[in-house]
């Protein structure tokens, strides 16, 4: 078991098709190089109902995660696949302001002192990166690009649950762990035998 984590790497995105029942199908994950930082925070507070002068019932009010992904530079493939840029006949990328929002899974890993922990956020949407820059002075200071990410749930029929995130680590079977970035992992229910 890891005592610490460090080093964001292996960021991938996989475009999602969300069905009417909230389940998702994913394209093959695409490498998204140049990861600098990722910070997403859980959204939604627990719902508390008071009766008999006590917290009579507490429910989960989680709605997902929100935060920022900072990259050295957004790739052209990400701009086209997720941010809805169009490549014209001359190879110019043009942003379509009326394009539909694209849903995608975000896959990534954090290194650990023993073994990397691999993650997936199942139903992400994002805003485009702001246009920023400044003149070069005596030193070159590379600028990064940052996008705001929202992650919500998908429906998983095998578990009969709405799921938002999964992670693979020390106890994950080798096939699943080693293949984490080749396809978006969708959990399956444990089989139980009754006698």
Count how many residues are written for the chain.
195
Q: Which two tokens stand for residue 160?
A: 């009969």
Q: What is d(CA 162, CA 139) in angstroms, rounded to the nearest whole number?
A: 49
Using DSSP's 3-state secondary structure scheme, residue 188 falls into: coil
Q: Give the tens place of pLDDT for each residue, 139-187.
A: 777 889 999 999 999 999 999 999 999 999 989 999 999 999 999 999 9
- Those residues whose C-beta lies under 8 Å from the C-beta of residue 87, and which sit 6 or more positions away, are 76, 80, 93, 94
DSSP structure class, residue 157: T
Res. 130 pLDDT band, cuts 50 70 90:
confident
Task: Decide if pLDDT at 192 tops 70.
Answer: no
Can you tell me the distance from the alpha carbon of 147 to that of 63, in angstroms, rounded to the nearest whole number? Answer: 20
pLDDT at 135: 75
User: What is the C-alpha to C-alpha distance for residues 166 and 41, in angstroms, rounded to an integer?
Assistant: 15
The average confidence (pLDDT) of the chain is 90
Give the helix ranges, DSSP H, for 58-111.
76-81
Q: What's the average model confidence in pLDDT over 28-38?
A: 96
Rounded-to-integer distance, Cα 181 and Cα 162, Å:
22
User: What is the Cα–Cα distance from 68 to 165, expressed in whole angstroms?
Assistant: 16
For residue 194, pLDDT over 60 is answered with: no
pTM confidence score: 0.86
Count of beta carbons in the 10 Å neighbourhood of residue 162 = 16
Beta bridge partners of 49: 57
- Sign of the dihedral defined by the CA atoms of residues 112, 118, 121, 126, in that order: positive
In the predicted structure, residue 60 carries a pLDDT above the cut 80: no
Q: For residues 177 and 165, give the distance between their C-alpha atoms in angstroms, rounded to a whole number.
A: 15
Does 63 or 66 have the greater pLDDT score? 66
């Amino acid at each position: 078991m890891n005592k610490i984590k460090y080093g964001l790497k292996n960021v991938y995105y996989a475009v999602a098709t969300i069905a009417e029942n909230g389940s998702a199908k994913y394209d093959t994950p695409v490498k998204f190089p140049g990861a600098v930082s990722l910070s997403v925070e859980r959204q939604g507070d627990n719902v508390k109902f008071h009766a008999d002068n006590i917290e009579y019932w507490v429910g989960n009010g989680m709605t997902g995660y929100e935060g920022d992904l900072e990259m050295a530079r957004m790739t052209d493939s990400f701009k086209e696949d997720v941010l809805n840029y169009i490549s014209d006949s001359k190879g110019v990328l043009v942003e379509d302001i009326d394009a539909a929002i694209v849903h995608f899974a975000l896959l990534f890993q954090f290194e650990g002192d023993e073994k990397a922990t691999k993650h997936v956020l199942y139903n992400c949407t994002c805003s485009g990166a702001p246009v920023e820059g400044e003149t070069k002075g005596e030193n070159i200071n590379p600028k990064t690009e940052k996008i705001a990410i929202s992650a919500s749930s998908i429906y998983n029929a095998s578990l009969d649950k709405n799921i938002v995130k999964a992670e693979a680590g020390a106890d994950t079977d080798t096939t699943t762990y080693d293949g984490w970035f080749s396809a978006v992992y969708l959990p399956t229910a444990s089989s139980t035998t009754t006698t």
